[in-house]
Chain A
Amino acid sequence: MDRLKKAGRFLCSMKCAVILLVILAVACTAGSLIPQGQTAAYYTANYAESLAGAILLFHLDDVFHCWWFVGLTLFLCVNLLACNVLRFPALRKRMKEGFTATKRIAEWDGVPAAVTVEEPEEIFKRLGFRNVTRGVMAVARPAQTEDSAGSAEGAAGPESVPTRYAVRRRAGVWGAWLCHLGMLVVIAGFGLGQMFQVQYSVYGVPGQTKPIGNTGYELRIDDFRVKLREDDTVEQYETDMTVMRAGENPAAAGASGTETTEIGITGADETVGTAGVTGAAGETGIAGTVSVNHPLTIYGMKFYQNSTGWAANVQIYKGSELLQEGVICAGEYALIEDMEGLAVVLNAFYPDYVRGEDGMPATASPALHNPGYLYTLYYNDRILGMNVLTEDEIITVEDYGIRFTNPQQYTLIQIKRDPFTPVAAAGGLLVMLSLVLAFYLPPEEVWAVQRSDGTWLLAGRSRKAGAYFLEELSKYGGKAPAGLPEKDGNKQTE
């Protein structure tokens, strides 16, 4: 039982938090220095055998998703929660009862920050304290400085003396507590997001309509623009698109929900404004434009302009007769329908094709000067050939001719649905605000006790600024009575 209690106490302690945070920092270091998500062969090839073994054994190849990292994070959450639950009553009590003249002055060691003849209320107001309470308290006479009269009074036992007391920013006690709560919300939002978010990506060229995973929606790419600057660097990628329920594509009447490759449907003449949503929901779906850094939310899904690549039209001839034509993106394959088992893969595309010094294909510039198509031809999984084809060349296999034309850039749209992003965002905001509260709006107290000679001893307390707060207090401390030291309070009262 004792052990259980001890364990429980440890779980709620700051010591436990410190240990967990140190381990998490070390784990993050490992996760950033060891390349993540590679194959086992990669580690055995790049690290000493024992090290590679350790990496795989402790899942250091995927630190941030492995069970022990998630476990430690959960452990930290429990720790945070326990800490906050336990501290809540004490903090509430501190807010309600912790800031009183009686309590503060009784705990005071009697060392003043300043001695003054002025009414302390005025001084406190100058310091920014608004509600100054006047009171009378039974205290042991505060220590007198040696040159003041009646030092014997100090030993005279408790007596009633006038006091002044003020406190400000009491809510500051909640700073750390709210920060912990905010962290819990961030971690919860992130964790739930990781568990429940869904992501898809759709790529294609203008005119293509593709399903968005199994959401029942499809996405039509209406136009794709790569905006270049004068020096040929890319300024922006922009896709005009329409999202609609599957089967509602008006421009492709009769198209099934699968990958359709209508060629020749060009984008709408008018580009739809910037990231605004135009068009009515319903039959025509919702149209909009996404560009890098300007995502768009449609039907609860968020669309991002993610990347781009090259695509081309692939044409299959038999003799001079065009049998088949479709769009193929780099990395995709096309099956020759007329001859089972025959397929062509467009491995890569070079807009300004040259042969590099090493004999490998390369591109001299990003501009479309001399298109080169690197292809591989397969017949029943056997490679028939691999080469680079330029614009007017045709590959011939038996009676068939294969040709690539009309190179154009395709757009890759990433689609994401994560209902927990706002949760994490709210947590982040809470952490931010609570840190301002914790660091810049901490509770501050000032008090004064009148001595028998009518002078006042001023003192104050700020957990954050310590000696510097007292210095400020002594600076504002008003006129000191003749012969008394103006500054007397470099000692921290904490």
Chain B
Amino acid sequence: MKYAVSIYKNQDIQHLKDIADSFVLYIPKMSCVYDPEFNIDSALEELKGKEIILGINKVYLEWELDALREFVLRYSGYKFLVSDLGAVQILKEAGLLANVIYDPNTLICNSMELELFSRYGFSALGMSSEIPLADVQSAYRRTEAKIFYQVFGRKIMFYSKRKLVDIYKEFSGLEFGSEGMELQEFMRTEKYPIFYNEGGTYVYRDYLISLLKEMKNLSFLEYAYIEGITLNPEIIAKIALIFKKSAEIEDISELENELLALDLNIKDGFAYKDTAYVKEGFDGKN
């Protein structure tokens, strides 16, 4: 299992480069959420010799395809985190399917889907974080697929091509910068971080997922992904170290305490619960 961490800012690399195995870089215009100041080439230089995964995780509009093709060919020596089957097709035509981690976020929820996509020869497949861990384990047992799975950090829960914040600014007459924004639904107390750029609007869960206590049961993962958005790099480094150590020792209670001491809003998400779904089984008779 490789630990992959997100990189949004060049200055974060120095804190993380010796801790993680793989680095997912989020690139201006190519990724969903990114820092406009991020410089990919200097990041690649600084991470030379490490496994790099380039986040091309948008759902691309027709007019964005030429830039995507150019980008993929320019950085063909690296892996790609991909969410759009159109982007997959471009990588397929470039002979780069083995470099692809296909993670459509919410759409791979069972072993049949995992098996079907495994036939493409991807580097790994991202499974949904909105299903119980037991389903992830069962899907792996049935397929032995290479799985990319988020084990820590915030998870995106809304991705729109609408520029909702710019439109809201026009509606409200308010002027504000892009960082540090949160939404709160009127009947709730939780606050959801919201990001926006020219590609659209992105809203994250109010809490951080942590599957630390399950890492031994998840040793089959190809990639255990630590998402650091909204956290500072020193904290991410501490978390990555805690997760790495968890694979090496039997009793992780001390590590759990270390994680608790960071005083973060941590929950286990859907790890132990399934979403509500009323279904009628089909027995052939209806």
Chains A and B bind each other: no
Residues of chain A touching chain B, judged by Cβ–Cβ distance below 8 Å, are none
Residues of chain B touching chain A, judged by Cβ–Cβ distance below 8 Å, are none
